[in-house]
């Protein structure tokens, strides 16, 4: 599968006349709870030839999307990515911290180094808290909801919990995220059952588990996250360094 992904990344470079600066896995496979039939979510940052950035009109598209069988590719132009980096964009942060990397260059290393200590924890808490709340209201009003929707609420609230308790960026992989967390025994047991069930079931499997403690845990944190956010720093990456990285990469 890795060879297939690499082949399509190279094909995208040729078809779109771009250079991919890094490519990673996102979503359930990066989080570590993919179902047997889960798609591959490949995310990447790319740069166009320098002359294309000098055009006054046209050629302003800043995304590339392509789906091939069970491979979902989505990429951002370097200028879009750096603009979002300057705002501590949570999706970009997860790409940078993905445990599954398909392509890497010096750009990836420099962007990671610039953001590792300089991102807005406040922005991340708001993102994860609101994501959990939206998932709850849209998909988890009934207990018999798809297993994956539970994770789309559970993982974000554990990220909020992690940011409050640990003060550093939460691991992308779920096993690493929950490691050493002091969950109540009944909650820990339900999370373990949920994880096992998700890994062996279809993407569309409906939960038949008793997840009373999981549901209470999600509810607590999705209403508490704004209080947590108010205590978090709101710093962002250095704009000048991001601009210099972008110019240097485009001109190289």
pLDDT at 35: 85
CB 40, CB 29: distance < 8 Å: yes
Consecutive H or E run containing 76: strand 71-77
One domain, residues 77 and 175: no
pLDDT at 56: 63
One domain, residues 138 and 107: no
One domain, residues 180 and 91: no
- What is the three-class DSSP state of 66? strand
pLDDT at 121: 92
Domain of residue 217: give its range: 121-229
Of the candidates 248, 246, 198, 251, the one whose C-alpha atom is nearest the C-alpha of residue 62 is: 246
One domain, residues 171 and 201: yes
pLDDT at 76: 98
Which residues face 64 on adjacent strands?
75
pLDDT at 58: 66
One domain, residues 81 and 23: yes
Tokens of 150: 């539970």
CB 125, CB 93: distance < 8 Å: no
- 120-129 pLDDT per residue, tens: 999 999 999 9
CATH of the domain at 47: 3.30.460
CB 216, CB 223: distance < 8 Å: no
| Eight-state DSSP code of residue 100 | -
- What is the three-class DSSP state of 115? helix
One domain, residues 64 and 161: no
One domain, residues 81 and 158: no
One domain, residues 215 and 160: yes
Of the candidates 57, 23, 27, the one whose C-alpha atom is nearest the C-alpha of residue 40 is: 27
- Name residues of the chain where pLDDT drops below 70: 56-59
Question: How many structural domains are present in the chain?
Answer: 2
One domain, residues 75 and 173: no
pLDDT at 174: 94
């Amino acid at each position: 599968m890795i060879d297939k992904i690499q082949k399509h990344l190279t094909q995208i470079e040729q078809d779109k006349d771009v250079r991919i600066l890094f490519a990673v896995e996102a979503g359930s496979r990066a989080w570590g709870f993919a179902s047997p039939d889960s798609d591959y979510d490949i995310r990447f940052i790319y740069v166009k030839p320098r002359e294309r950035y000098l055009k006054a009109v046209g050629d302003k598209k800043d995304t590339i999307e392509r789906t091939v069988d069970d491979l979902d590719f989505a990429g951002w132009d370097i200028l879009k990515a750096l603009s979002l980096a300057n705002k501590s964009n949570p999706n970009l942060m997860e790409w940078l911290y993905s445990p599954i990397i398909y392509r890497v260059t010096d750009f990836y290393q420099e962007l990671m180094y610039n953001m590792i200590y300089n991102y807005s924890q406040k922005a991340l808490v708001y993102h994860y808290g609101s994501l959990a709340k939206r998932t709850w209201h849209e998909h988890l009003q009934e207990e018999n909801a798809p297993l994956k929707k539970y994770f789309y609420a559970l993982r974000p609230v554990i990220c909020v919990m992690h940011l409050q308790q640990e003060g550093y960026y939460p691991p992308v992989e779920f096993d690493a995220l929950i490691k050493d967390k002091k969950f109540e025994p009944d909650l820990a047991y339900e999370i373990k059952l949920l994880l096992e069930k998700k890994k062996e079931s279809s993407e569309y499997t409906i939960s038949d588990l008793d997840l009373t403690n999981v549901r209470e845990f999600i509810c607590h944190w999705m209403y508490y996250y704004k209080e947590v956010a108010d205590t978090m720093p709101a710093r962002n990456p250095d704009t000048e360094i991001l601009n210099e990285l972008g110019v240097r990469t485009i001109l190289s």
